[in-house]
């Protein structure tokens, strides 16, 4: 079955080039010219992946991403931001609202297509069946249902936050360098700064509330998930 790609881009010439190349490669391509139309199409089309420009009319890309991540039907849809905004702070904001990857204009369409393939493969692996459940203290990560439980209550996390938490909880006590976490949670080919991981960690700690200390900072290295005598796995 063909993968469905939604392009949210107000530059019609660029959108046409992207649409042409992906259509010729077997994708079903849908296009939106503004943020509101993009949200509406994401709800109706249920794309496998979204290419999202930041500087679009009606609703900007950051708010579009935030709204899509807040809805159950699009919460886990891979979102790749494609934008001319190349400052570090722009990338950090993009990842903090739930983007899975960040591509800066101008770019090679061929490279973009490879990045889309990689992101789709990574998404498929993280949603695979027959994988185990790992818990440590109050936190449980369930790969089968792609969910996180905190004190038996479901915790709403972004796809990148899920992969980050999933990586660390499976190796409690191990200190991960930020570069390792980028590769594990975001993908080795993702354009991401090491500070991006700090943004995700801050967000996770905020969501974990009183249990935020299960993620420990290792000075000069990165982060680790606190060791717990109650750590278990199933599967």
3-state SS assignment for residue 217: strand
Give the whole-angstrom CA distance, residue 75 versus residue 81.
15
Across 166-183, b (16+ Cβ under 10 Å) vs e yields bbbbbebeebbebebbbb
Other beta carbons within 10 Å of 50 = 28
Among 229, 179, 223, 182, smallest CA distance to 201 is for: 223
DSSP 191: -
Which pLDDT score, from 0 to 100, does residue 217 have? 95
Give the whole-angstrom CA distance, residue 151 versus residue 137.
9
Which pLDDT score, from 0 to 100, does residue 131 have? 47
What H or E segment, with its residue span, contains residue 232?
strand 232-234
**Going residue by residue through the chain (235 aa), what tens digit of pLDDT does each one get?**
689 999 999 999 999 999 999 999 999 999 999 999 999 999 888 899 999 999 999 999 999 999 999 887 788 899 999 988 777 787 888 888 889 888 888 889 999 999 999 888 887 766 554 346 888 889 999 877 788 999 989 999 988 888 889 889 988 888 988 888 887 766 655 556 778 888 889 999 999 999 999 999 999 999 999 987 545 555 4
Superfamily holding 4-126: Response regulator (3.40.50.2300)
For 55, phi and psi rounded to 5 degrees? -95, 80
Given a contact cutoff of 8 angstroms between Cβ atoms, the answer to whether 9 and 35 are in contact is: no
Which pLDDT score, from 0 to 100, does residue 85 have? 78
Place of tokens 């750590």: 231
Which pLDDT score, from 0 to 100, does residue 60 have? 95
Which pLDDT score, from 0 to 100, does residue 75 have? 85
Which pLDDT score, from 0 to 100, does residue 130 have? 39
191 Cβ neighbours under 8 A, 6+ residues apart: 91, 101, 102, 103, 104
- Would you say domain 133-234 falls under CATH 3.40.50.300? no
Which pLDDT score, from 0 to 100, does residue 232 have? 53
DSSP codes joined into one string, 40-68: HHHHHH--SEEEE-SS-SSS-HHHHHHHH
Ranges of each domain in the chain: 4-126, 133-234
């Amino acid at each position: 079955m063909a993968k469905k790609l939604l392009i949210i881009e107000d530059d019609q010439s660029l959108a046409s080039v992207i649409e042409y190349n992906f259509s010729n490669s077997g994708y079903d391509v849908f296009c939106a010219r503004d943020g509101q139309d993009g949200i509406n199409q994401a709800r109706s089309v249920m794309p496998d992946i979204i290419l999202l420009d930041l500087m679009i009319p009606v609703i900007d890309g950051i708010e579009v991403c935030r709204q899509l991540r807040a809805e159950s039907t699009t919460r886990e849809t891979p979102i790749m931001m494609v934008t001319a905004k190349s400052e570090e702070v722009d990338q950090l904001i993009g990842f903090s609202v739930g983007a899975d990857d960040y591509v800066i204009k101008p770019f090679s369409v061929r490279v973009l297509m490879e990045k889309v393939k990689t992101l789709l493969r990574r998404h498929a692996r993280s949603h695979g069946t027959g994988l185990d459940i790992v818990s440590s203290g109050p936190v449980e990560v369930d790969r089968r249902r792609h969910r996180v439980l905190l004190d038996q209550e479901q915790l709403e996390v972004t796809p990148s936050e899920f992969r980050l938490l999933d990586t660390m909880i499976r190796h409690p006590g191990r200190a991960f360098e930020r570069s390792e976490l980028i590769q594990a949670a975001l993908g080795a080919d993702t354009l991401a700064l090491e500070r991006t991981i700090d943004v995700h960690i801050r967000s996770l700690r905020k969501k974990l509330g009183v249990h935020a200390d299960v993620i420990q900072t290792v000075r000069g290295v990165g982060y680790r998930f606190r060791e717990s005598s109650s750590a278990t796995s199933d599967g």
